[in-house]
Structures are given as C-alpha cells and as structure tokens.
Chains A and B, each alone.
Chain A
Amino acid sequence: MSDPRILGADAGTAVRDAERPARPRGARSLNLVVGGVLFGVIVLTALVSLVYTPFDPAETTGGRLSPPSAEHPAGTDVLGRDLLTFLMIGARLAIAVGVGSVLISAVLGVTIGLIAAFASRWVDDAVSSLLDIAIAFPTVLLAMLIVAWRGASLESAILAIGLAGSAVVARLTRIVGTRVLSEAYITASRTAGTITARMLVLHVLPNVWPTLVVPFALQFGGAVVAEASLSYLGLGSPPPNASWGRLLQEAQSTVLVAPLGAVLPGVLLVVTIVGINLLADGLRDVVDPSSRSGR
C-alpha cells in the first residue's frame, strides 16, 4: 500500500516499522505493560508534585550538596535545596512540555495536512515542498531561533518544539488524508450530498487519527529530550521551575562531590523516554491491528 520511502523520510517511525516483523507478538504486549508502568510512574510523580513536594523548591533546607539522608532522600543541590523536590517538579515540566508541544503539533499539523490533502494539486505541491524544507530544519536550531526571539522560558520551548513537530505531523496527515479521501465511503458520502466540513469531522478525521497516535507518542519523547537539551544550554525555563536538563547542567560542575545530582535527572529522562517509546510500540497494536501478525 504505502511506499516505504514516503514514510521512511519520517525518521523515528521508519525504524520501528521495519523492526516489526522480527518481534513476536508476546513481546509487544510486554512493551505496552513495561512502557505503561515506566511512563505511569513519571505521570504519577508529576501529578503528586502538583499537590505535594517535600520542600519548597526555592528554600534552603539542608547543607550544601549533602548526600542522601532521611530528610532529603536524594540529597541537596549547591544551594542546599532539596533535590527530590526538583526532580518531582522536573517530572511535571517534562509532562507539560510533552503534552503542550504535541497539542501544538497536532492542531497545526493536522490542519495543514488536511488542507494539503483536500486542496488542488498545485497547493498540495507547494505545501509539500515547504514541509520538506521545514522537516529538514533541526528542531533544536529552530528552538534556539524562537528562544532568541521570545527569551528563554517554558512557553518558548513548548512553542518551538511544537512548531518543529507540526511539519512531520502535517506530512503524515497529508499522506493518510489523501488515502482516506480516495476511499469508497468518501465518494459515497459526497454522493449523498454531505458538505465538506461535515465529511471532514465525520469521516476523515476518525480515519486519520489512529495513524497519528503512535507518531504523537514518539514525538512526546522527542519533545522531552529537546526541552532537556534546551534547558541544559540555559535556554529553558529558569529555576526554581528547573527541568531535568537544567538540573544536569547545574550538577555538572559538582559531579565529583555529589554524583547523584548528575545521575538522577538523567535516569528519569531515560525512564520517561524509554517508557513512552515502549508505550508507542505497544499502542501500535491497539490502534492498528493489521500490524500484529507482522508482514
């Protein structure tokens, strides 16, 4: 059906698609469970941090760079602030970045993609070429451009990452949308006199979105990494609302005295991303039953 080269240009999905046949079915539902647990822990931490953190993140509550103790299970940072509190807030920020940027990509990308799929060939070609260029442009560079313009903040990071992702979503939506539009039920609906807007909502969107769920999940992970990189470079949200990337940057200079500070945020980042990637792998089965048996 779909030319692998078309989808192949979308980096992350291609690898996983190709990996599909090698993996037995049992491994896939295992993916869903393990991914769900890992990611669930992070989401839970983020939710808890909304109502409870061990300490006020801005307050000095212990000695500088003190090792783990009963009071500070993860130790303290350079200024004597509780690290566990920061790690919990970091989870909240990571989830916010993922959800926010995926939402932006979804709204913008699906809209552009559907326009391209619906529009005349000429518009479609123009949009597609623009998307090719936009996709070639690295996310982190685009993010830096937006940060240079808006200043370093969580919102800038989310906006930048969301914008960068929307091009990929748009291309995918366009491909799937075009395929859906050529289906018989669309012709039938047209014949019945359904107006375009109604057809979009009733027939096109419900058939497009299952294909997008997995890319969205993967994009979530990518967004968390991108924000961590920005924060690490000092272009993310400033403390005390520090993300994991920022914590790593601050801990880098004191890694010999307090190694936990340079390890834990990284571990949490990896847990989040591995979790969501496994979840995406497993989700593919749920939304796309045809992938179950392999090729």
Chain B
Amino acid sequence: MLRVLGNPVYALISVGATEEDIAAAAARLGVDRPLPVQFLDYVGQLLRLDLGRSFTSNLSVGDEVLRRLNVTLPLTLLSFALSVLIAIPAGFLAAWKARTWYGTAFSALTQLAGAIPVFWVGILLVTVFALRARILPAGGFPRTDWEDPQAALRALVLPVLTIAIVSGSELARYVRSASLDVLGQTYLRTARATGQSFAGALLRHGLRNGIVPVISVLAIQLSTTFVGAVIVENVFALPGLGDMLLVGIREQDFPSVQGVLLFSTALVLLLGFVADVLQRILDPRIRGTLSGNHRSRAAA
C-alpha cells in the first residue's frame, strides 16, 4: 500500500553512500523487488497477523504496537471513563434544568469546549499545572513502564484530563439531547400515573430508551478519544502509538506507519460493529433492518 510512496532507503544510508550501499540497503528492506511482489508479500504477512519489521529499527512492528499500547490503551480508557463520568450527570442535569442558568451556562461552556483544539488544552494545562504550579510532570513516561504504577499514573493525569475535557463536553451534549428527548416523552408521564416515582420511571423506562442513541455515540467517542490520544501523546511526549506513527512518517518507516494505521482502523471499525450489535440488543425496533445507518430509501 504505502510502499509505492517515496524511497525509504534514503532514511537508512549515510551521506556519501555509494550506489552499492544503496542497492544493498534496498535489498535488505526488500524494496528492490517489483511492487506487486512486495504487495502480495505484505498481504501474506497480514494473513499470518505479522505486520512486518520496521525499516529503521528492524524490530517487529506487531510487537512494537503491542508495547506502545501499554501507554495508549490506559490513556484512552482512562480518558474515556472520565469523560463519561463527567458527561452523563452534566448532560442529564442540563436537560432537566434546561430553562435555568445551569442549562444556559452548560450550552455556552460545551460550545466553547467543543471549539478548543485538544492539543491547545494540553498546552494550557501543562503551563498551569506543570510549569507554574509544578504539581504534576509536564510530560514523558517513566522508563520503567508500569513497574512503578504511581509514577506512571502521575504521568497520565494531565493527558487524561486534556482528552476528557474535550471529548467529555462533546459527549455531554449528546447526553443532554437524548435526555431532553426522554424527558418529553408521554410514556414517562404514563409511568408516573401508574404510581411509580419519578426516579423509578426514569430508571425503568427512560434509561433504556435514552441509552440507545448514546451507545452509538459512545462508540464514535471512544474512537475519537483514541485518535485524540494520538495527538495528545505528542503534547506530553508519551511513547505511545501516536508517537510511533509520527516518527514513522518522519523517517519514512512505512511498515510502522502501516502497522499503526491498520491497527487503528481495525479498532475503530470493530468499535462501530460492537455499537451496532449493542444497539440491536437494546432496541428491538432496529433488529429487523439490515443496518441502523442506511436503508433510508424505505424511511424517506
């Protein structure tokens, strides 16, 4: 796929290399073979779940991706958990108290937070909490990886906060609109009329209905968080997948770039699939259709 592009040999050889040196380097990487051969070879590797070896470090790309996940996965999951923890109460409250100052402030704040680039939030947080107040590390990840969990967690506090602020506010808007929808439904009033408490009716009937659209957004949100992690890792100099991808692009290390992109794409598509299945389990009305997303010809 990417092999067609640029010449990775130049990243390997030193200044003043002879024609023979270049040819030898190309042969070592296997880029001197015809492109179709290279491509078929790569597809063959993929079928064996082998992502190949890095051009620059000669390490197995698959192993490297897994090693980098030590940073990216906790970062993504913690940020996601935190943003959900913030977004669900905040969004619900904003719907419940839509006509009060809280509802207005919520709309203004989420509008603003939705417009702030995630990396800028990171820069501002670093400036305030790491450089000025010096209570948290400005970046980097302990060399010992997770052997010292406390140090590792401390390194993740600011990055997690950064992602959670941005993706949490986006999520909160969805939660708000889903809650608004549920709160206006007549079935809630009916349930109240049968003698259920407001909270009981909400839990029994509201939650199940309100959660369906939120689930698909959660899946999209989890993949956005993952992509956000790729960028935020750079702000905090964390050695995760994002760092691997960027270094790979800079050094034209195509197997690494391909490896990270393939892995990320697979993950994003998998999340979408899981969300589709979950929605179907929760809402029997969607089950009959082939896909929740298209097939609108009938609906339109």
Contact = CB atoms under 8 A, between A and B. Distances in A.
> Are chains A and B native binding partners rather than an unrelated pairing?
yes
Interface of A: 1-6, 8-9, 11, 14-15, 18-19, 21-22, 121, 124-125, 128-129, 132-133, 136-138, 140-141, 144-145, 147-149, 151, 171, 175, 178-179, 182, 221, 225, 228-229, 232-235, 245, 248, 252, 255-256, 259, 262-263, 266, 269-270, 273-274, 277-278
Given A1-B300, A145-B2, A235-B246, 14 more contacts: A2-B300, A6-B299, A138-B223, A175-B300, A234-B250, A235-B249, A252-B123, A255-B126, A256-B131, A256-B132, A262-B123, A262-B124, A266-B120, A269-B120
Interface string B278-300: 00000000100001111011011
B257 interface: yes
Interface stretch (B16-24, B188-196, B227-235): B227-235
B117 interface: yes
A218 B246 CA distance: 28
28 contacts: A1-B300, A5-B292, A9-B292, A15-B173, A15-B174, A19-B176, A21-B180, A22-B180, A124-B297, A128-B294, A129-B294, A136-B269, A137-B265, A138-B227, A138-B264, A144-B245, A148-B2, A148-B257, A175-B300, A229-B117, A234-B250, A248-B120, A266-B123, A269-B116, A270-B116, A274-B115, A277-B111, A277-B115
Contacts of A8: 213, 216
Q: Which 10 A-B pairs have the closest CB atoms?
A: A18-B177, A273-B115, A266-B120, A128-B294, A138-B227, A3-B299, A149-B5, A15-B173, A179-B300, A6-B296
Given A141-B261, A225-B117, A233 B231 contact: yes
Contact of B213 (A5, A252, A262): A5
Given A137-B268, A262-B127, A248 B119 contact: yes
Contact of A144 (B249, B252, B268): B249
B300 A232 contact: no
A251 to B, nearest CB: 8
B269 A148 contact: no
A225 B121 CA distance: 13
Contact of A15 (B120, B126, B177, B294): B177
Contacts of B299: 2-3, 6
Contacts of B140: none
B265 A266 contact: no
A255 B177 contact: no
A85 B224 CA distance: 34
A274 B231 contact: no
Contacts, number: 159
A13 to B, nearest CB: 12
Given A136-B272, A138-B227, A245 B213 contact: no
Contacts of B103: 22
Contact of A232 (B6, B119, B220, B226): B119
Contacts of A14: 174, 177
A137 B223 CA distance: 9
A9 B230 CA distance: 23
A22 B180 CA distance: 9
A144 B261 contact: yes
Interface in B237-253: 245-246, 248-250, 252
Interface in B118-149: 118-120, 123-124, 126-127, 131-132
Contacts of B249: 144, 147-148, 235
A15 B172 CA distance: 10
Contact of B227 (A141, A148, A178): A141
Given A6-B294, A175-B296, A270 B123 contact: no
Contact of B112 (A2, A225, A259, A270): A270
A129 B224 CA distance: 21
Contacts of B6: 149, 151
Contacts of B174: 14-15
B277 interface: no
Nearest to B114: A277
